[in-house]
Each structure stands twice: as structure tokens, then as C-alpha cells.
Structure 1
Amino acid sequence: MLSFINFFMKNNELISKAQEVLNNNYQEKGFTIPCKGLYPFQWNWDSGFIAIGFAHFDMEKAQKEIKTLIDSQWSNGFIPHIIFHNETDTYFPGADFHKSNLSPLANNNVPTTGMTQPHVLGFTLERMYEIAENKEEILDFIKTTIDAVYTYSLYFYKYRDPLNEGLAYIYHNWESGTDNSPIWDDIWSTMESPQYTFERRDTTHVDASQRPSNEEYNHYLHIIEVAKKYNYDDAKIAEFSPFLIQDPLFNSMLIGSNQSLIRLYEKIGGNEDKIATLQAYTEKSIQSFNSKLYDEELGAYCHYDLKKNKLIRFVTSSSFAPLFAQVPDKKRADILVTTLLEKFGNEDQYLCASFDPTSERYKPKQYWRGPVWINLNWLLYHGLKKYGYDRIAERVKNDSIELIQKNGFYEYFDARKEMHQNNTAGYGGNNFSWSAALLIDLLSE
């Protein structure tokens, strides 16, 4: 009984600290920054995860988070990855570099980027509904926002699927959410990007060894310049961008959000046409996903390079995101979990590293080249639960909690357990919002 009381008190203390992180990062204009200094604006998928955390203790802020994000939507349904609500010189590249107003479809009320991020808004709304005590009240809110989220889903199939196969492309590595993953290395090696003159802001807040290199930034900026040249026209980007990828994480989030929107529309009633549209797109997506993005030899889903017409054959944490959207059948899910445990699941490692720990490209301290991220663990936890892998799901959940208990609410964490002896293996931004938000949600399970 005493051990249970201690466990309960420790969790309550952790939840209180997480709530404090979210409240401190919340801004007067109705959005939450990922963390102070390093990320001073509103980020798309961050806001979705943040709203899930707020929903547990401040539903009004959760709703404002979503409403503020949706208010940045472009006329074609696109929702950008950064919304520049405020002016600051602590981040590069900012609004002046992106120049979203080059697009005739851009939102004229607020400057944004011309790229997006994984579509988490559908399942964010559904999770808010599940959390809410007053179901009628939250459903009223969802009614005011769901059509915008539906239009966001449709945007990808109308404008980002040139082969009409139900798989959306990303044209920038930042759209993947996994910014400097080693899966992009071979693409960079073939690109001849200009050498830009710029002043990094991120490395004034975080050790440069934990961030992308200046050479990588040249490639990042070059891709944006290509998009700007064509005024962020998706068809032109598909034709001329040197980077065009079908990403398993990105498309899993799209499918997962579609599935949530279908269930929410069924609760609202009277939306049979939208439900049918989403079902048709989702079925096509899953079929193409399994026929095109799965690598039999690796036993995992991989990224597909549309410029070279081939799979990028590496296993990452994104490889397991299809479990969340229930893309694989049970037989293939068994293979995925076997791959997860064989490559990522050694007892001396926390689950789940962002890149294959058995690869020579694995760098466990550098951003998306190896560290554990709480948002990917949250997705993996729920994906494993959907297939009945409860024991492994609990390991993912407990590893996530332990990483935060030992180090604090950091952006990402070293996967090697030996590095946590002095509780200094949390990296990137501290007091990071989605780490706090998703911890609250995991502890509510």
C-alpha cells in the first residue's frame, strides 16, 4: 500500500510540473510555444499534442490552441508548420525569409511558412473528446472546427498526391517533423545547394553538436528558395523541388486523422458525404501504403524518394508509426514489432530511438539522428495497444516517464541507459511543451 501511495504522489508531482511547463509556455494570443528562446512561435503538430495535454486540466486553453492554429489556414485548406504571431530575432529563418505572401492562397491575416507538418489535428480533436467530462460541450466546439480539419485532410489528396495513389508527398525535410534524420543524407549528397550567408539562432540556445550542421542548413534554405521561386505552387514544387518524399510517419498521421474525423462526423451526424469521401481516400491510402512503402527484407515501412523512384532503406521510429493508423494487418504488425525489438529494444536502450541503433549513422545525442522523442513514443504506445501488444506498450510508456523523471521535460533524450546516471541526458530545449503535454496524457492512462 505504501509503495502505491509513493507512486501516486510521485506521479501527481510530475503532472503538476508538466502543467506548470504548459502554463508558462502559453501566450496571450492563444497559443503555446514549444519552449522559450529556441522556438518562439506556434508550430503545427506541436499545438495538436499540446492541446491533448491541456485538455486534461484546462479545456479552454486546449480549444484556443486549436482555434488559433486553424485561423492560420490558407484558402486551399493548407495549414502551415509555423505561424509567426509575434516578431522576434531569436529564430531563423523567420517570416521575412519564408515570405508566405508570395502565394495567392496564403492567409493574409498572419505570416506563416509555406510548408506544413504531420497532420495530427483529426486525432487531437478525438482525444480531446475522449478526455472531456462534458461531451456535449466539447462536441459543440468540434462542430466549429471539424470542417477546417476535414479541408486540411483533403488538401493533401488534391494537391500533394500527383500520382493519385493516396500518398501525400513532403517537399521539405521540415515537413516530416524528423528534421535532420540520417535518411536524408543521401539526398543531400546529390544536391548542389548554394552557400548561403546566414546567422543561426538555434545554436545560441542549444549545444551545436545536438543540432543540424550549417551544411545541412544550406540544403534546407535552398529547398525553400525553390518553393518561393514558384510562389509555393504545389504542382510546380512537385515538378522542380529536389526533395520529394512519401513519408510513413506523415502519411500515417494523415490516415489516423482521417479515421478520427470519420468517427467524429458519425457522432455529429448528417455528414454522410464527408464520411464517404474520407473513407475512400483512407482505403486508397492504406492499400498504396502497404504495396509501396513496406520493405520485406527490413521488416519495416520506409520512406519513398519520388525523385529517384525508390525506397530509402533505413529503419527509423517513423517506420512504426503505421501501427498508430492500423495500416498493417496483424501478420505484418507482428513482423514490425519483431523488427522494433531486435533493432531498438535491447535492455541497455530506452525505447524508442529515432534512428536504427545498429546503424553506423546512429548518433544518440543529435536531434533526429538517434535520440528518443516523447511524441513518437506516444504514437508508438497507442499503436502497440491497438494490436494488443500491451506489455511492449507499457515498456514504451514507462521508458518515457522514466526519461522525464530523470532529466526533466527536455525536447529529446539519449536512448542509451548508461548516459542517464547523472540525470543529464536530456537534450535540446528544456521545459518542452509536448513532452509535458503527452506525459500528462500517458499518466492518465
Structure 2
Amino acid sequence: MKATRGSTQASSHAAARWHGHTVGYPPGDLLAACYRRRGPMTRLGRYVYLLGPEANRFVFANSDLFRWREAFAGLIPVDGPTSLIVSDGAEHRRRRRLVQPALHHRRIDHYIAIMAASADAALDGWRPGRQVDVYQELRAAIRRSTIHALFGQRLAQESAFFGAQLQVLLDLVDHLPQTVEWKRRLGTPQWRRAMAARSRVDARIAEEIARVRAGSADADDHVLASLVHGRDDDGDGLSDAEVRDQAVTLIAAGFETTSAAAAWAVYALLSTPGVWDRAAAEVHRVLGGRRPESDDLPRLPYLNGVVQETLRLYPPAVVSARKVATGFEFADRRVRADTLLLYSPYVTHRLPELWADPLEFRPQRWIPGEPGFGKPKPYEFLPFSAGPHRCIGAALATTELTVMLARVLARTELHLPAQRIRPTGFAAMRPAGGLPVDVLARRPAAA
């Protein structure tokens, strides 16, 4: 094994020289150049970009100036018209109050065993001497564990069905919103296929909602049950349509964005010298070969740093949007009502005035006491947005990433072959063509 590890280390160094430590994304890099040349406000065509930490702080502190529904209308074909991401004002606050308890930290702790089992099921199929697409493999595992947590084990067995149907919808919305609207108006073949897929997903979820409302004995300990039965202080609950939209949003956003981040994390682990070794040593020291439990996660500071550093350099959303409801002034310039405003986590996360050596992958910058440690402010680190519309599944996503990576580190030795890594994606930045890796060794799951 020592010789294998040494060859892995050498291969990792070679991969780092080939790939470089950090992959850039041309649209995001263009915005970064605009920020350096023009300051925090840039107009490009029909859009206004507010860039950098002060712009982020303004946007998050003045949520009453903006609307969300029009900004994210392109996601409605997948998430539905009552999803949190397209809800405004009082309706957003009401729905968020009802959805939030379903994702309480105590519930997420219960899901860790599901996440680890799903990771192990995927890893069991990896064979030394073979090549696997880490992106697709972890995407399937994350989808299974997300559906298991949301719907229970019975529907988790239909993960492939939901993956196939939701992929048709995700392919549709992986375009600019105006492109999605154009496809809707023309009724293009892609639009029709997507609507047929949505009907199949809706029908299957409606069946499960009916089972929960009827008091099915095996449907009382997962997120769907919480969404169906949840009530706020006024006794108000979610309608079946609202339950459907929140559930699909959690599934689709969960596996789409989290699997992209998982792939980037593996890429960084393998392409940055020393990172895999330190993370794997920490996992072995804390866990040995066993699966993690909730109390273990705080004892993995370096692995948690890998997760946070991945989300910094490869945030799922390169840009995010708001529709301006009320005109305002920022940086001595006027922004009119009905303007589509965009801000960029990608730009903020790579600014040298906020991050030392911002293009270097350094998990230790997230560990108190380590050189370069500094706790960023909410408007400086925003992989899940911030303010009243911060992603409700943020804790679920970071837990999933930590658990999946812990199992990969504990059970495998991998090599990143020479390849061109090219990011793509409007809804979630991901490696185009996946992320092939060579499996050098794979250990059995601990009993």
C-alpha cells in the first residue's frame, strides 16, 4: 500500500501541474474583470451587475427593493409556481416558516446514516484498475440519499425514475430565463418533453402525498410528512400543490448543486498537492473505517475546510438574480425599477482583497489557529446566498458533502488522469463531460 500511496502522490502532483490548482469559468472571469475596471456596478446589455462585498451587502440588506418570482421564473417548470425560490413577500415568509422545521439540524443528523449508506453503495461498485465518472457516480448517490431522506426508503428505490424525469426538466432550465420562456411560447419539442416528464413526477409525488394524508404507517418520519402535516402558529399548512413544489425543489436543487460541488471537491483533493493526504489522514484518525455519525463531523475540521473551500472557489451559482421592484441609487448611479439585477458569488469568492491567494485551494484557511484563517462576513461568502432568501437546504447540502467525501477518502485511492476540465452550466456550475478518475484501490466498508 505504501508504494501505491507514493504513486498516487506523484500522480496527484503531475495532475496538479497539468490542470492547475483552480479551474476558471469564463463568464465569471469576465465579470471579475469588469469589477476591477469599472467598480461595483456594471451594465452589460439589459442587465445591471452589482459586484463585490459592498454590493452584496446592499442587496441582502434591502430585500424589500427586489422581487424574486420574475428573476427566477425560468425555474418554474421544474420547481413549480409556489416554490420558495420564486416566492415573494408574505407568501415567501409563510412558506418558509412551514418548510423550515422539515430541515431542522436534528432531522439532518438523522439523515447522516442514510447519506453514508448511499455513498457506500456507490463505492461498492468501484473496481481497482477501472475508471469511473466521479461526478455521475456521486450524483446518483446524492440523489438516492436525498430522496430517501425526503420520502423514505420506499421511494428511494425509485431514484432512477426521478433522476431520469427530473433530468429532462433540468436540461430545459439550464439556459437563460428568456430562452426557457421562448421554448414555452413556441411549444418546442424540448418543452413538450419536459412537461410530460413533469406530469409523471407530479403524479408520483401526488400518490405519496395522498398516502401521507391518509396516515400511512411508514410515512411519518421523513420530510414529506413534515411538509404535509406541518402547521404554523396560526394553524395554517401547505396545500398539496405547495408540498409538491417544495419537495421537488429540495430534490432537484439538492442533487443538482450538491453533486456538482462533490465533483469539484474530488477534483481539488486530487489536483492540489497534499490535500488528499491530509484529509484522508484526518478521516482515518477520527473514524478509522467506520461510517461517520453526527458527533464526528465537528471533529473533521480539515475535511470541513475542504467543503467550504470548494464552495468558495466553485460556488453552484456563478451569478444570482433579483428583479428591481423599487428604483434605487448605488455607487452614485441610478438603477430603475423593473431592471434585472445580478450579483456574483463567483466574483466575490475570488477577490484578493478578501482572500489571501484567492485562486489557491487552501482548506486550512477555514480552521481557527491555522495561517490565513479568517471568518468571512455573510456578504463575503455566499454559496447559498444570504438574507431572508438564503438557501433553506444549506445545512443539508454541506452535511451531505462532508459525509460523501469522508467515505470516498476512507475507502478509495484515486488518480486524476490528464484531461481538460471545462466548467459549464447556468443553474449549477459543473464539470462538462463529468470527472473521470482512475480507481487505484478500494477498501470494503467497515462492518
TM-score by length of 1: 0.28
Larger Rg: 2
Point out which structure has higher relative CO (alpha carbons under 8 A, 6+ apart).
2
Q: Which structure dedicates a bigger proportion of its chain to strand?
A: 2
